[in-house]
Amino acid sequence: MSEVFSPSVLRIEQPRRGPFAKSRYKVMDGDGTVLAIAGQTGDEGRSEMRGLLPGKSNLDARAVTLTTPDGEPLLVVDKQTGREYTEILRPDGERVGSFVTERVGRRYVIYDDDGTLIGAVDVDVPRNNFQVKDADGRKVAHVRKKWAGLATHLLTTADKYATEIADPVPEPLRTMAVMTAIVMDMNLHEAKEIT
């Protein structure tokens, strides 16, 4: 994995924008230093297959590219239509791994680039806590979505996540654990249920 994401504590924030804004994220270390930014790709990959209601996570396919603050590409999060499948790719298109829905909103399994099961994400009922576990069921990371208030939740895309990695975690599971906040946001929280 890139040295950029080496801290064991990360914060992932989605800037405050309207409910139909494009996917954007900032990845910071525990002290608030910006390590990477992510923005929705233009018409690359599967992101051009927009649904009838833009912003609805259960309809839209979209991809976000993570770059360093200087613009060096790091990873691509490619979410296909629906909530069933999201890939993490290197800038050259090589797959790091994938998140596959086992139970919508409750459990996602994680595969490596060869399709070998390497872990899972267990989701709590309010969809605010995400336990990342390895293939043997040991906890390797905890991702927590912070409550920002009703108005922020309903009227903007603003979401904040805290990620704690229980290092050492072998690759590619560590990279997948770091990407969990963005993947779960795109699958579960990005759609604001006001349409």
Extract the tokens encoding 55: 């912003």
Tens of pLDDT along 100-111? 999 877 899 999
What CATH number is associated with residue 15?
A: 2.40.160.200
Q: State which residues form the domain around 29.
A: 3-194
State residue 192's pLDDT score.
Answer: 45
CB 67 within 8 A of CB 74: yes
pTM over 0.85: no
Structural domains counted in the chain: 1
What is the spatial distance between Cα 166 and Cα 169, in angstroms, rounded to a whole number? Answer: 7
| 102: nearest Cα among 122, 82, 88 | 122
- Class of residue 178 by CB neighbours under 10 A (exposed 0-12, middle 13-18, buried 19+): buried
What is the percent of the chain where pLDDT is above 70? 76
The residue-averaged pLDDT of 78-100 equals: 93
pLDDT bin (cut points 50, 70, 90) of residue 195 is very low
